Amino acid sequence: MVSIFIIIKNFLKYLNSKESVESIALSFTIAFVFSLIPFNFIIHPILLFLLIIMNGNILIFIFLTPLFSIISNPFIMNLHNLGTSALTSTKLLNIFIYSSSIPLLNYTNWNNTISMGAYIIGGISVIPFYFLTKKIVTSYRLIILPKIKNSKVLTIFKIPKWIKYIIGQS
């Protein structure tokens, strides 16, 4: 139980830090796509590789992935319906026949209805989600964070440094 509070504290610390808004938005976006797509031995390592290469924040990613997984679970039937309609579309039949002949694509489970729905939603929503998250984090830092730092409630609940030293926190 204490560990969740430590993770939340570190999450808020990174959100309030000097880390770039783009890095935080990238971590949010990759965590969203990672949790939306059912586990896959091809796509998930690629997403982790992108997170590392593009210098995303791994702590924010680790914190948000389970949270987005909980949020996305009620929408599994919608993903299934979308995937079913895409996979049964006669207009896309030639694309799927060609895709099934590519050996690496067979391991991405694109022929699974939930996976296909998640790929469609993930592909469509990646760019808007990134820019929306970027806007929200920027607004948070410019508008909400100064109000929180200047609030009287925060000054009341601040732990003096000598108490932190006694209990061993830094």
Residue 26 included in any domain: yes
Q: Which residue has the higher pLDDT, 156 or 112?
A: 112
What pLDDT does 111 receive? 81
- The mean pLDDT of the chain is 85
Segment 30-58, tens digit of pLDDT: 999 999 999 888 899 999 999 999 998 88
Of 4-13, 104-113, 135-144, give the lowest mean pLDDT range: 4-13
- Which structure tokens are listed for 21? 């808004």
Range among 88-97, 125-134, 137-146 rated most confident:
125-134
Percent pLDDT > 70 in the chain is 88
Residue 34 included in any domain: yes
Residue 103 included in any domain: no
Can you give the residue range of the structural domain that contains 152?
2-74+126-167
Q: Which residue has the higher pLDDT, 152 or 169?
A: 152
What pLDDT does 31 receive? 95
Q: C-alpha 133: how far from its chain's center?
A: 10
What pLDDT does 6 receive? 74
The number of folded domains in the chain is 1
Q: Do the beta carbons of residue 18 and residue 86 sit within 8 Å?
A: no
Residue 82 included in any domain: no
What pLDDT does 18 receive? 82
d(CA 150, CA 132): 26
The full length of the chain comes to 170
H helical segments located in the chain:
2-16, 21-36, 43-53, 58-72, 76-87, 93-100, 113-139, 145-149, 152-157, 161-167
Residue 87 included in any domain: no
Residue 117 included in any domain: no
Residue 116 included in any domain: no
Q: Do the beta carbons of residue 79 and residue 66 sit within 8 Å?
A: no
d(CA 30, CA 160): 37
What pLDDT does 15 receive? 81
What pLDDT does 167 receive? 47
- Which structure tokens are listed for 57? 């924040």
Segment 138-167, tens digit of pLDDT: 998 899 888 877 777 666 666 666 555 554
Q: Which residue has the higher pLDDT, 29 or 103?
A: 29
